[in-house]
Amino acid sequence: MLAALYAVLITLGAGLLMLPVATPAPITWSDAIFTAASAVTVTGLVVIDTGSDLTVFGQGVVMVLVQLGGLGLMTFAVLVLSMLGLPVSMSQRMFLREDLNQTSISDLMVLVRGILKVVLACELVGVMLLSVVFVPEFGWAEGLWQALFHTVSAFNNAGFALFPDSLTGWVGNPVVNLTVPALFIFGGLGFIVVTELYERRGWQAFSLHTKLMVVGTLALIVWSVVMFAALEWNNPRTLGALPLHDRFWASWFQGVTTRTAGFNTVDIGGLHDSTSMMFMSLMVIGGGSTSTAGGIKVTTFIVLLLATLAFFRRRQQLHIFGRSLGPEEVMKVLALTMVSILTVFMAIFLITISHDGDFLDLAFEVTSAFGTVGLSRGATGELDGFGRAVIVAVMFIGRVGPLTLGFFLATRAKPRLGYPASRVFLG
């Protein structure tokens, strides 16, 4: 049902983008569907220039689709019902639980109200800070619109920008380099984590999920920023052409944006192959559960590492921060990772059937779509109808969750027979 709702929203969004008022010149249905899918899945891959090929109405449609896709349809629906004073039924709470990837329905309404506070606070602060940059340059009306659009896009980890070169024009601007990353880092942490941080419970009172997300996110940020600077420092197509202080800003911005957001302040097509491979690994990891980011999620990656370590230490349970994780969590992580790997590999295989171009560019494109990141090495505009369909499908799977695909394809049946145990030689 949730997957169907997202599909309906994409269709409605494409229909609105096809209206004459949405574009200064007519676009094709392929352009409209791809753009709407990229917005709803908060990816940011584009086949048309959002700033010049769409009117303010069309840009507004994209922004609303990004907000709905980032919040989650059921979260938005429950917020509307709550504001109207209407009761939320048990079936709606069940859908909301799945949309937020929760295991219980007891505290869902508290979580939704916390989400609303976080979204309003973060986006209001973001608009005010970005207005300091955009209003003096573009005037009040356009400057405020630029600030609002990029704030919504950043907080929802969408990566849509109203400039053809994303945010490369502000590669050394401190306000942009601090505000935009802060927005997509908070959005990528997940609403549960941000709500707990907002309540200032203290480290000991934080849930295990919050502790894993905070530690994992900080570690990945340090790794990505340092490695990007080390790999690209003398590359004349990226950092090498910038002044010294701008290199530090660009390293920070591009390092933190890779897992989730999709904005860029340097030319992604000019990256070294080694940097592109690092970016692909970060895009697969993604952000946090119940967040606006995609990927297999940071906690999944951490549990994979813990499971590997436990295997070599011959332990039956995973221990972290004074808590233990049982076999059920490990099985779910393994299923999620396997479905994700198969999805990415199959998509790369399909897209290379009709596009015999640079393999790294195509693999980078597919990985970016799966992680709903939006970074591209320039292959998006070269895709034909089949290639676009593959990318749209991968973006969709990346947004609704790879496990949704697994549950959709799997059948649940109670086994009638038991079989004797056996062994298979592994490794």
Please state, as a whole number, how many other Cβ atoms lie within 10 Å of the Cβ of residue 312: 7
Report pTM: 0.89
Query: Kind and range of the H or E element at 323?
Result: strand 323-325
Q: What are phi and psi of 264, to 5 degrees?
A: -145, 145
Q: Which of 120, 176, 168 is nearest to 150 (CA)?
A: 176
Which residues make Cβ contacts (< 8 Å) with residue 247, sequence separation at least 6? 229, 233, 239
Per cent of the chain over pLDDT 70 is 87
Q: What is the mean pLDDT of residues 52-69?
A: 94
Judge whether residue 318 has pLDDT over 90: no
> pLDDT (tens digit, 9 = 90+) per residue, 251-303?
999 999 988 888 999 999 999 999 999 999 999 999 887 777 888 889 999 99
CA–CA dist 282, 420 (Å, integer): 42
Q: What is the mean pLDDT of residues 52-68?
A: 94
Query: In this model, does residue 165 exceed pLDDT 60?
Result: yes
Query: 19: left (phi > 0), else alpha (psi -120 to 50), else beta?
Result: beta
One-letter amino acid for residue 68 of the chain: L
Residues 351/387, Cβ–Cβ less than 8 Å: yes
The two structure tokens encoding residue 167: 């945010």
Please say whether the beta carbons of 101 and 402 come within 8 A.
Answer: no
Mention every residue, 6+ apart, whose C-beta is less than 8 A from residue 349.
none
Which residue type sits at 11? T
> Which phi-psi region, left, alpha or beta, contains residue 322 (left: φ > 0; alpha: ψ -120 to 50)?
left
Predicted local confidence at residue 179, as pLDDT: 96
**Could you give the C-alpha distances from 246 to 182, 240, 377, in angstroms and in order?**
18, 10, 22
At 57, list the tokens: 């109405």
Look up residue 301 and give its two tokens: 């990656």
Q: Classify burial at 138, counting beta carbons within 10 Å of its beta carbon; exposed 0-12, middle 13-18, buried 19 or more.
A: middle
Q: What is the pLDDT of residues 178-193, one digit of tens each?
A: 999 999 998 888 877 8
* Residue of 248 and 99 predicted with greater confidence: 248
Q: How far is it, in rounded angstroms, from Cα 46 to Cα 8?
A: 20
- Measured N-to-C along each axis, helices 2-17 and 90-99 cross at an angle, to the nearest 10 degrees, of 80
Which residue's structure tokens are 């929802």? 156
Contact assessment for residue 260 and residue 187, using Cβ atoms and an 8 Å cutoff: yes
Cα-only R_g, the chain: 21
pLDDT at 159 over 60: yes
